[in-house]
A and B are shown apart, each in its own frame.
Chain A
Amino acid sequence: MTRISMRSVSKYFDGGDTVANYKLDMEVDDGEFVVFLGPSGCGKTTALRMIAGLEDLSEGEIYFDDERVDGMPPADRNVAMVFQNYALYPHMTVRENIEYPLKVRGVPPEERDERVAQVAELLHIEDQMDSDPGEISGGQRQRTSLARAIVREPSVFLLDEPLSNLDAKLRLEMRSELKRIQNELGITTVYVTHNQEEAMSMGDKIVVLNDGTIRQVADPEELYERPRTTWVAKFIGSPPMNLFEGENRDGTVRLAEGNSLPMPAETSSQTVSVGVRPEDIDVSTEAPDTDWTVPGTVKTVEPLGEYVLVNVEVGGSVVNVKVPKTEAEAGDPVHLTFDPTDAYLYDEDGELVA
């Protein structure tokens, strides 16, 4: 199978005026499921298209194992790609669509039939084989386009937001289905999405991109537990991490709200920020008997069943708190507390200190 390496890959458009990707350096191990995650316009799709060979590189090199592939046409890279809108050939039946890559590559008809039947079974679309793509449901179209990608037994499997056109229920179903198929086949996979839930649930490794550059490469737990910059911290999690501005006073953190936190500030930078996940904060209407709290006013309370989301205004910005239940109501003055060991300290450049 195949290991993908990108070595300082950059992509410029409009003669260098637009930078889509800047110096991407990363590895995808053999059989690994890697997710490119980032907001729209962050360059994740361009990066995927460069791996596919649909986009030329401006700088850098891409290797599949030890073979340099940039400059090779997509057909010679043995990659398969699933497009956001599925890109099924509208004038061919489901069977002809799945068969097409085999036909182009001159696979003999008997073998073709066999392999098409196999993937059809794997993806549960045996009953739709003679329908036109226009006649089947979104989920079945998705399965067809997956089947067309898988049937060739590619060495690299590329997926560009494949679930974004499906409704919520189908998306969940296809998510586990995709993961199952990838596990079963063990194909090196790169998956592009802006949906962090998808990324966290499917990826062995997540590559967070913003403004065309890689912000962090980590597995899902690490990404959640140790976001390396304030940007990643604010991007991951729903709602994302809260950041409190503070100052470094001789090795301890003093929040802008006037409280000293019992946590060490092992950094030389003067201004710092303290990040706390919404589920790690407690909210109470009465002053707790700790030596510090963060005072605020409740803006809204959103009871979501599983938990209650309390939005508290603290010094002009909103802090999201996730609690099992609360007595606080909109307008109440409240006190926020958290265990300093759950907090992350970022220096003035937004880099994680501890």
Chain B
Amino acid sequence: MSVGSYLEDRLDRDLDGEKLTAILVFMLPGLTLFAIFSVGPMLYSAVGSFFTWDGFTIGQFAGFETWIAAFQDDAIINWDNLLAFQYPMGALPQNIIWMVVHVPLSTLLGLGLALLFADLRGRSVLRSMVFLAFTTPTVVIGLVLLFVYDPQAGIFNGLLRSIGLEGMVRNWVQEPQIAIYALVAGGVWVQTGFSMLLYSSALAGIDPALLESARVDGAGRFRRFKDIIWPLVKPVTAVVVIMSMIWVIRIFAIVYAAGGPSGGPGGVFSVLGLEVYQAAFSVPIEYSKAMVVALIELVIALPMAWYIASMD
């Protein structure tokens, strides 16, 4: 199909010149803002990533030089460690691992809690308590995690001691091979509140007669969940999954608070956001590297944002 006939199909047949003008006039303010604050910076960094930078002044055209350098940078991808599955693997793989662990956990926990609280007395109090973590600034969450995992005073190690696992006690955020999972747990704690809230409202939207009908039809608890609840909350699952993927790809404050600008010992839990920050704000300033890493983030997040926005 040619572009022309496609457009003809999509455009309203009653659309005359006058109407078109009106539509454009009304869209102008919105489009202007969108262009200045969204499209502009994206194009700017897309173009800028192909140039050398001297501080904040644009230099010479460098082609893919910065891109190639970024993918060879151990801080972004540490190929040797990645193949051996040894931390640090670099910000990009670590960010993706974070996503792979975090998203299913927070989604399922959120759904589980929403189901658990659905028919409970005092559910609004319980929901608020779980959701509280999501409203807390993520920097604070990072600090709280430091306290939680502290080898002397931390509640987590205290718990291990109390159940007789003295040998396990350690500073969890300083253990290279484990630290990232300790932080992921914190992220899950935050995101569970969000997915629980979305699932709660989706569950409240299910007509109780449907579940009663399924009960009369002979479906037990599990079948009611599998056949009725799960298909009906599917659209919400899509939103929850993608929102948490986007949340993880943008993650910064928790990591910064827990491990400083380096992202833990040797960058074992460094993420893309942290690398952008490092490249742009610490000496030596590598502006083009910051742009490249930011663009990698964008390339991962954009299709998901597109999917969410185009959902019915």
Contact = CB atoms under 8 A, between A and B. Distances in A.
25 contacts: A54-B215, A73-B215, A74-B216, A75-B215, A75-B217, A75-B220, A80-B216, A80-B217, A81-B216, A83-B213, A85-B207, A89-B210, A89-B213, A89-B214, A89-B227, A90-B210, A90-B232, A91-B231, A91-B232, A100-B227, A101-B218, A104-B219, A104-B223, A105-B218, A148-B217
B217 A100 contact: yes
B228 interface: yes
A75 B209 CA distance: 15
A interface bracket (residues with beta carbon within 8 Å of B): 20 to 34
A52 B216 contact: yes
Interface of B: 207, 209-210, 212-220, 223, 227-228, 231-232
Contacts of B228: 89
Interface of A: 52-54, 73-75, 79-81, 83-85, 87, 89-91, 100-101, 104-105, 148, 152
Contacts of B210: 87, 89-90
A100 B227 CA distance: 9
Contacts of A73: 215
The 3 closest A-B pairs by CB, nearest first: A87-B209, A101-B217, A87-B213
Contacts of A104: 214, 217-219, 223, 227
Contacts, number: 58
Nearest to B208: A87
Given A81-B213, A87-B212, A152-B217, 7 more contacts: A52-B216, A75-B215, A75-B218, A80-B217, A89-B210, A89-B213, A89-B227
Contacts of A52: 216
Contacts of B219: 75, 100, 104
A195 B210 CA distance: 25
Contacts of B223: 104
A54 B231 contact: no
Contacts of A53: 215-216
A164 B217 CA distance: 22
A74 B217 CA distance: 8
A308 to B, nearest CB: 43
A79 B231 CA distance: 25
Contacts of A148: 217
Contacts of A84: 209
A305 to B, nearest CB: 39
Contacts of A91: 231-232
Contacts of B232: 90-91
B209 A85 contact: yes
A124 to B, nearest CB: 22
Contacts of B215: 53-54, 73-75
Nearest to A148: B217
Nearest to B213: A87
A73 B217 CA distance: 11
